[in-house]
């Protein structure tokens, strides 16, 4: 019996259309818009102005505080402006717009792994510095600055490093392809992270629907890094969520409101590990990432290595163009992704996929009254009562919402997915959660 | 006391055997009286010790309030408002939307305070982007609530500041004073609106403002909240305030200020001359309850030059 988390979970159709498509570098776009806030925390401070000439990897935004991240230019060219550009939600955020000219890289960056920058030549501090200056953030989607995750608060003892290769969102295959094609590099990256954290034990969690990735990682472990475990997991959404993954692999339960480090675990995504490998061995900042472009109506679903700041439209073109019957273009996966208002929105550090949904499938069914079937309660991986949270949210009963632990909600969408009455459970719960968080914040202030 | 005890002891001595019915009645009555007297003494001292000093004016103010307990004043019910007024010993910032000015002046007389001479107010919706002026760029079919849409994305149109049209304000109104028009904008009833401010709280985009009702209910205000610069407001909506400043130049009373690319008319300085209304190139300034204009040459002069 394979491991998985105990409470709730659902089984959406996998639809991994692009799992056989090798990672292809995307041709450079004519212009990129690099948002200064691609991470959770404070937006970076811009360091360039209109008319400046920049190279690939040049620092263009400096981290503003501890919970923030550096932003580097992903292309070479001329800064056209530092302007407000619509992000995935359609609201304007400040971005550096660069017109692409050639592909000239910063001199300090190696395009290839240099042997002297390999393995134990680095101290813990060297590595932390490299990760911080490269502007690496969690690439699974939460975009939390990696450097912060690697500095456990005093008094905590990290014991396990768990590598998240679950990729439980349907359709997405970016992490899958990385594990297949870059097994060796990932293992080097894992060893860097182990050293940075001072842990002895590392486990890579991979769902059982990727047997080739499991085999490839196992083979690489035998060759390069004995001691690192590969742990196949039973397929269940949302296994890629940090708390669920920790429960599945380590059997430990993160208390509500606490960080994984409180149970001695640190989780990093496969994409993040690859970025760490590149940052340490090649001095390469996070300027490009693998993005899955997929959808049942697309001509050529695939996985593309693309520069941060590339418009989503360019990725869709590469995958065969936007089909005429498109209803939604979603960044991220179908469960937690965000539908776009325009395809001019750019790829950021946290963009794992672009999903094109035909009009017929995109439409939501009209909601009906709750029939009290409790399917949402059974599906909730956090043991909450979504039907109750929705009702309390509609009635704006903030205190009761807080008592019903709405802040534990991980917004995975399992409740909405499973509801036979098509109720928009998550939409209302998310709103209630933000109201509760505001109330908690206000209480702390006073 | 001593006589009672003597009588009691005599009874006991006389009836050594089982007590008669009369005895039981006497014992009961006497012991109950004793308990009653003892309790009253205890309660008297407890009441003195723990007496709550309450301002008698709170009760008098509460009697004057309508007793609807609607919460429209922002206090937890009428009693809450009465307590707050007496505690502050001032009427500044307090208003009863249901009782209106007459109630407030009554309270002022009782407390011997100055009446807050605030003019009656009304809710106004600062967005003119109806379906004709503000084209839709996306379609939303999720949960029908402005608050949910606002948290999710910029809405069905390209304006990230404008009305979302799903009627959170209309649902929040306890007086049926607010409805959504066919064009998707809130329409506020002059008669029914009591300026309680529930819709102001309900609107996630803070479009609704409580404004002085104005003489003869005439008002001039900017019907836009778009604080973006440059071409984006114009692209998003035909009735957007572009922050061009023509109205500021036109105004003889310095009643209009532009902040963050958005004009705002101070209702206390505005003399309702309506020059700004005709000067606005996009028609973002609203005039309400004025008699129809005579078509004059001077208004033609201010047509936008395209």
Whether residues A285 and A405 fall in one domain: no
Unique residue bearing structure tokens 């960080």: A259
Spatial contact of B178 and B193, defined as CB atoms under 8 Å apart: yes
Whether residues A198 and A265 fall in one domain: yes
Say if A50 falls within a structural domain. no
Say if A382 falls within a structural domain. yes
State the Cα–Cα distance between residues A405 and A402, nearest whole angstrom. Answer: 5
Supply the pLDDT for residue B52. 83
Do B153 and A91 lie within an 8 Å CB cutoff? yes
Supply the pLDDT for residue A345. 94
Supply the pLDDT for residue B230. 76
Kindly tell me if the per-residue pLDDT of B305 is higher than 50.
no
DSSP string, A128-154: HHHHHHTT-B-TTTT--BHHHHTSPPT
Do B153 and A90 lie within an 8 Å CB cutoff? yes
Computed over every residue of chain A, the mean pLDDT equals: 92
What is the enclosing helix (H) or strand (E) of B8? helix B2-14
Q: A30 CA to chain B: closest CA distance, Å?
A: 22
* Per-residue pLDDT band at B295 (split at 50, 70, 90): low
Whether residues A292 and A440 fall in one domain: no
Domain boundary among A337, A363, A389: A363
Residue A407 is given by DSSP the state: G
- Per the omega criterion (within 30 degrees of 0), is the bond before A238 cis? yes
Kindly tell me if the per-residue pLDDT of B12 is higher than 70.
no
Of A169-183, A313-327, B51-65, B114-128, the one with minimum mean pLDDT is B114-128
* Nearest by Cα to B145 from B203, B200, B208, B207: B203
Instruction: Tell me which residue in A84, A341, A364 faces B154 most closely, judged by beta carbons.
Output: A341
**What sign does the dihedral A385-A389-A390-A391 (CA atoms) show?**
positive
Q: Using a CB-CB distance cutoff of 8 angstroms, which residues of chain B are in contact with residue A328?
A: none
State the Cα–Cα distance between residues B158 and B152, nearest whole angstrom. Answer: 14
Whether residues A288 and A358 fall in one domain: yes
Q: How many residues comprise chain B?
A: 306
State what percent of residues in chain A have pLDDT above 70: 97
Whether residues A140 and A266 fall in one domain: yes
Supply the pLDDT for residue B117. 59
Supply the pLDDT for residue B180. 93
Kindly tell me if the per-residue pLDDT of B304 is higher than 60.
no
Q: A424 CA to chain B: closest CA distance, Å?
A: 6
Number of domains in chain A: 2
Whether residues A112 and A163 fall in one domain: yes
Whether residues A148 and A169 fall in one domain: yes
* Per-residue pLDDT band at B98 (split at 50, 70, 90): confident
Supply the pLDDT for residue B306. 44
Supply the pLDDT for residue A162. 96
pLDDT tens for each residue of B227-266: 988 788 888 999 999 999 999 999 999 999 999 999 999 9
Supply the pLDDT for residue B6. 63
Whether residues A191 and A122 fall in one domain: yes
Kindly tell me if the per-residue pLDDT of B300 is higher than 80.
no
pLDDT tens for each residue of A330-361: 999 999 999 999 999 999 999 999 999 999 99
Spatial contact of A334 and A357, defined as CB atoms under 8 Å apart: yes
Task: Please give the average per-residue pLDDT across A174-197, as a whole number.
Answer: 92
Domain boundary among A340, A363, A386: A363
Kindly tell me if the per-residue pLDDT of A187 is higher than 70.
yes
Whether residues A353 and A398 fall in one domain: no
Task: Please give the average per-residue pLDDT across A54-78, as a whole number.
Answer: 93
State what percent of residues in chain B have pLDDT above 70: 89
Do B148 and A431 lie within an 8 Å CB cutoff? yes
Computed over every residue of chain B, the mean pLDDT equals: 85
Domain boundary among A342, A363, A384: A363
- What range does the domain containing A431 cover? 375-445
Instruction: Tell me which residue in A92, A363, A430 faces B141 most closely, judged by beta carbons.
Output: A363
Whether residues A359 and A238 fall in one domain: yes
Query: E strands within A211-264?
Result: 229-233
Say if A70 falls within a structural domain. no
State the Cα–Cα distance between residues A234 and A231, nearest whole angstrom. Answer: 10
Task: Please give the average per-residue pLDDT across A186-206, as a whole number.
Answer: 92
* Per-residue pLDDT band at B146 (split at 50, 70, 90): very high
Do A427 and B138 lie within an 8 Å CB cutoff? no
State the Cα–Cα distance between residues A377 and A419, nearest whole angstrom. Answer: 10
Say if A440 falls within a structural domain. yes
- Give every strand in the sheet of A53-54, ordered side by side: A31-35, A92-100, A77-86, A53-54
* Per-residue pLDDT band at A115 (split at 50, 70, 90): low
Supply the pLDDT for residue A78. 96
Supply the pLDDT for residue B55. 85
Supply the pLDDT for residue B255. 92
pLDDT tens for each residue of B55-88: 888 999 999 998 888 877 878 889 999 999 888 8
Q: Using a CB-CB distance cutoff of 8 angstroms, which residues of chain A are in contact with residue B160?
A: 90-92
Q: Using a CB-CB distance cutoff of 8 angstroms, which residues of chain A are in contact with residue B204?
A: none
Whether residues A217 and A300 fall in one domain: yes
Say if A74 falls within a structural domain. no
Q: Using a CB-CB distance cutoff of 8 angstroms, which residues of chain B are in contact with residue A84?
A: 228
pLDDT tens for each residue of A272-293: 999 999 998 888 999 999 999 9
Supply the pLDDT for residue A376. 96
Task: Please give the average per-residue pLDDT across B6-23, as a whole number.
Answer: 68
Q: Compute the CA torsion angle B59, B62, B68, B74 (nearest 10 deg).
A: -120
What CATH number has the domain bearing residue A200?
3.40.50.11540
Whether residues A266 and A297 fall in one domain: yes
């Amino acid at each position: 019996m394979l491991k998985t988390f105990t409470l709730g979970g659902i089984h959406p159709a996998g639809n991994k259309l692009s799992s056989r498509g090798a990672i292809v570098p995307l041709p450079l776009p004519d212009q990129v818009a690099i948002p200064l806030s691609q991470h959770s925390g404070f937006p970076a401070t811009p360091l360039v102005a209109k008319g400046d000439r920049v190279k690939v990897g040049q620092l263009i935004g400096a981290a503003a505080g501890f919970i923030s991240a550096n932003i580097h230019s992903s292309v070479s060219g001329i800064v056209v402006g530092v302007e407000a550009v619509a992000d995935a939600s359609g609201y304007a955020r400040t971005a550096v717009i660069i017109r692409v000219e050639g592909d000239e890289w910063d001199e300090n960056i190696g395009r290839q792994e240099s042997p002297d920058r390999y393995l134990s030549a680095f101290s813990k501090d060297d590595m932390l510095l490299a990760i911080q200056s490269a502007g690496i953030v969690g690439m699974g989607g939460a975009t939390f600055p990696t450097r912060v995750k690697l500095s456990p608060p005093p008094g905590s003892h990290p014991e396990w490093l768990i590598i998240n290769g679950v990729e439980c969102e349907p359709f997405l295959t970016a992490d899958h392809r990385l594990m297949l094609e870059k097994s060796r590099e990932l293992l080097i990256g894992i060893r860097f992270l182990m050293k940075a954290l001072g842990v002895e034990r590392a486990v890579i969690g991979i769902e059982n629907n990727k047997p080739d990735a499991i085999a490839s990682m196992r083979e690489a472990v035998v060759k390069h890094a004995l001691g690192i475990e590969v742990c196949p997991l039973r397929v269940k959404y949302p296994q890629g969520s940090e708390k669920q993954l920790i429960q599945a692999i380590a059997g430990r339960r993160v208390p509500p409101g606490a960080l994984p480090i409180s149970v001695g675990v640190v989780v990093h995504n496969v994409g993040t590990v690859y970025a760490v490998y590149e940052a340490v061995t090649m001095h390469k900042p996070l300027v490009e990432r693998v993005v899955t472009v997929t959808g049942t109506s697309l001509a050529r679903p695939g996985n593309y290595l693309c520069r941060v700041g590339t418009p989503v439209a360019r990725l869709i073109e590469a995958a065969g163009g936007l089909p005429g019957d498109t209803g939604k273009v979603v960044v991220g996966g179908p469960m937690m992704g965000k539908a776009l208002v325009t395809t001019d929105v750019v790829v950021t550090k946290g963009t794992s996929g672009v999903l094109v949904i035909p009009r017929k499938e995109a439409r939501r069914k009209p909601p009906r009254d709750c029939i009290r079937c409790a399917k949402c309660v059974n599906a909730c991986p956090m043991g909450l009562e979504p039907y109750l949270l929705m009702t309390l949210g509609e009635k704006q009963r903030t205190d009761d919402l807080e008592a019903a632990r709405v802040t534990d909600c991980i917004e995975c969408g399992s409740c909405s997915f499973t509801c036979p009455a098509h109720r928009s459970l998550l939409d209302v719960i998310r709103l209630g959660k933000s109201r509760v968080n505001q109330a908690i914040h206000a209480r702390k202030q006073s | 006391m001593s006589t009672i005890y003597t009588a009691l002891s005599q009874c006991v001595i006389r009836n050594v055997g089982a007590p008669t019915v009369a005895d039981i009645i006497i014992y009961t009555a006497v012991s109950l009286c004793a308990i009653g007297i003892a309790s009253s003494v205890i309660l008297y001292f407890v009441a003195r010790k723990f007496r709550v000093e309450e301002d008698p004016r709170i009760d008098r103010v509460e009697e004057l309030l309508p007793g609807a307990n609607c919460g429209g004043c922002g206090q937890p019910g009428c009693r809450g408002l009465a307590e707050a007024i007496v505690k502050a010993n001032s009427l500044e910032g307090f208003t009863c939307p249901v009782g209106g000015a007459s109630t407030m002046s009554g309270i002022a007389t009782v407390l011997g305070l100055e009446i807050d001479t605030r003019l009656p107010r009304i809710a106004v919706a600062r967005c003119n982007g109806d379906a004709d002026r503000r084209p839709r760029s996306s379609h939303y079919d999720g949960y029908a609530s402005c608050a949910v849409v606002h948290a999710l994305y910029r809405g069905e149109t390209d304006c990230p500041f404008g009305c979302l049209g799903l009627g959170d304000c209309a649902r929040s109104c306890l007086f049926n004073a607010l409805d959504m028009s066919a064009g998707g904008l809130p329409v506020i009833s002059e008669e029914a609106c009591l300026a309680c401010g529930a819709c102001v709280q309900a609107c996630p985009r803070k479009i609704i403002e409580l404004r002085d009702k104005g003489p003869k209910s005439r008002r001039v205000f900017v019907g836009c909240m778009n604080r973006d610069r440059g071409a984006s407001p114009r692209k998003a909506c035909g009735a957007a305030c572009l922050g061009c400043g023509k109205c500021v130049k036109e105004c003889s009373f310095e009643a209009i200020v532009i902040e963050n690319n958005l004009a705002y008319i101070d209702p206390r300085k505005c003399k309702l001359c309506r020059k700004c209304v005709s000067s606005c190139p996009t028609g973002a300034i609203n005039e309400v309850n004025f008699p129809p204009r005579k078509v004059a040459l001077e208004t033609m002069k201010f047509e936008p030059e395209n």
